[in-house]
């Protein structure tokens, strides 16, 4: 399996160029379901230690159904197949530039949730225009052991998010253990209370917002991902969901730009245009850097061939 690794604001992406499973030629949403149900061991083996690393997201390149797209892609982490991934799309675009497959300008990429576009501004700076994002529920409260009532919004940005602002705990890089524990507890409380996205879709990401020390930043966030790792970047799909909330609350205007900081201090520039279905079309600009190119080996004699599964 031939892979190229990059990171986007510290969050790793592993692009799988070849050697992935055959998922057929159906719609990307059906191919993503097939990856999730029939090839779980394989995609986990690519993400888990010792072959992968904590927080890594995989990007399996597939043939697009839309001939205008430069590629199709299915994203996943060590726990789940994702609908979309913003940092992954920035990393994928930087990888395609590194390979000489795309150059400056705008290119389309097909994902299981729809076609997104990337504008290559320089080899490392990419602007992603995401699918229409929306808030579906405002001011939902859950009881969390040891914390009390936590209130947030349910919003969709290609994945489902519970967005809590202000955070009940300090959003800072020296508080990651507590942030992780509390966001996991919030996700469990949402499940226990039967709170979900559309058609029962699980809310598998939780975001807490707090103030930033950077006077140029709108806020600092902490994002819990399905695999219980935190996003080192500000999370592209999470920022999309957040933009939908800010727009719905009248706190950010169409075309206005903000700087969103992650818990480790990396940042995205964010803005939106009004969408056709009462949501927003988000733009996320960030930087990615290619780090490694490798061939992964799956030796049947390796006792940890499928990764360290505890």
Cα–Cα distance, 40 to 19 (Å, whole number): 15
Q: From the candidates 69, 225, 235, 239, give the one annotated as an active-site residue.
A: 235
Q: Tell me which of 167, 237, 283, 285 binds ligand PYC, using CB under 6 A.
A: 237
Among 197, 236, 279, 282, binds ligand PYC (CB under 6 A): 236
177 SS3 class:
helix
Enumerate the H helices of 4-120 as residue ranges: 28-38, 40-47, 86-98
Smallest distance from ligand PYC to CB 12, Å: 10
Q: Tell me, residue by residue from 99 to 138, as one string, x for binding to ligand PYC by CB under 6 A and - for no binding.
A: ----------------------------------------
User: Do the beta carbons of residue 232 and residue 262 sit within 8 Å?
Assistant: yes
Q: Pattern of binders to ligand PYC over 136-165, x per CB under 6 A?
A: -----------------------x------
Reduced to 3 states, what is the DSSP secondary structure of residue 30? helix
Q: Buried (b) or exposed (e) across 18-36, using 16+ Cβ within 10 A?
A: eebeebeeeebeebbbbbe
Q: Quote the CA–CA distance of 254 and 277 in Å, as a whole number.
A: 15
Q: Which stretch binds ligand PYC (CB under 6 A): 32-40, 103-111, 227-235, 270-278?
A: 227-235
Q: 285 φ, ψ to 5°?
A: -115, 125
Mark the segment that binds ligand PYC (CB under 6 A) among 42-50, 80-88, 174-182, 241-249: 80-88
Rule CB under 6 A: say whether 86 interacts with ligand PYC: yes
Q: 212 vs 233, which CB is nearer to ligand PYC?
A: 233
The yes-or-no answer on residue 239 being catalytic is no
Helix (H, G, I), strand (E, B) or coil at 247: helix
Residue 58 makes contact with ligand PYC by CB under 6 A: no
Q: Judged by CB under 6 A, which of 28, 70, 73, 85 binds ligand PYC?
A: 85
Binding status of residue 87 toward ligand PYC by CB under 6 A: yes
Q: How far apart are CA 265 and CA 136, in angstroms?
A: 29
For ligand PYC, the closer of residues 64 and 282 by Cβ is 282
Half-sphere exposure (Cβ direction) of 44: Cα atoms closer than 13 Å = 17
CA dihedral 231, 209, 134, 143 (to 10 degrees): 100
Residues that bind ligand PYC (CB under 6 A): 11, 57, 82, 85-87, 159, 225, 231, 233, 235-237
Q: Active-site residue numbers?
A: 85, 235
């Amino acid at each position: 399996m031939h892979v190229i690794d990059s990171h986007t604001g510290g969050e790793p992406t592993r692009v799988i160029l070849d050697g992935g499973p055959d998922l057929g030629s159906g719609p990307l949403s059906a191919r993503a379901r097939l990856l999730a149900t029939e090839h779980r061991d394989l995609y986990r083996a690519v993400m888990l230690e010792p072959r992968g690393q904590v927080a890594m997201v995989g990007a399996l390149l597939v043939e697009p159904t839309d001939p205008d797209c430069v590629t199709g892609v299915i994203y996943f982490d060590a726990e789940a197949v994702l609908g979309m991934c913003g940092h992954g799309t920035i990393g994928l675009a930087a990888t395609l530039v590194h390979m000489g497959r795309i150059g400056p300008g705008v290119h389309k990429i097909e994902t299981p949730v729809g076609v997104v576009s990337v504008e290559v501004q320089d080899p490392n700076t990419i602007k992603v225009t995401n699918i229409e994002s929306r808030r579906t529920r405002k001011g939902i409260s859950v009881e969390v052991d040891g914390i009390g009532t936590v209130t947030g919004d349910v919003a969709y940005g290609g994945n489902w998010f519970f967005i809590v602002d202000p955070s009940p705990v300090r959003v800072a890089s020296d508080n990651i253990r507590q942030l992780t524990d509390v966001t996991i507890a919030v996700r469990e409380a949402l499940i226990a209370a039967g709170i979900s996205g559309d058609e029962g879709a699980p809310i598998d990401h939780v975001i807490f917002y707090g103030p930033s020390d950077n006077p140029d930043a709108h806020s600092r966030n902490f994002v819990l991902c399905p695999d219980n790792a935190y996003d080192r970047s500000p999370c592209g799909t999470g920022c999309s969901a957040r933009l939908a909330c800010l727009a719905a609350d009248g706190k950010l205007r169409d075309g206005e730009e903000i700087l969103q900081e992650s818990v480790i201090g990396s940042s995205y520039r964010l803005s939106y245009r009004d969408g056709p279905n009462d949501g927003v079309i988000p733009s996320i600009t960030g930087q990615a850097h290619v780090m490694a190119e490798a061939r992964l080996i799956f030796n049947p004699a390796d006792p940890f061939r499928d990764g360290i599964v505890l």
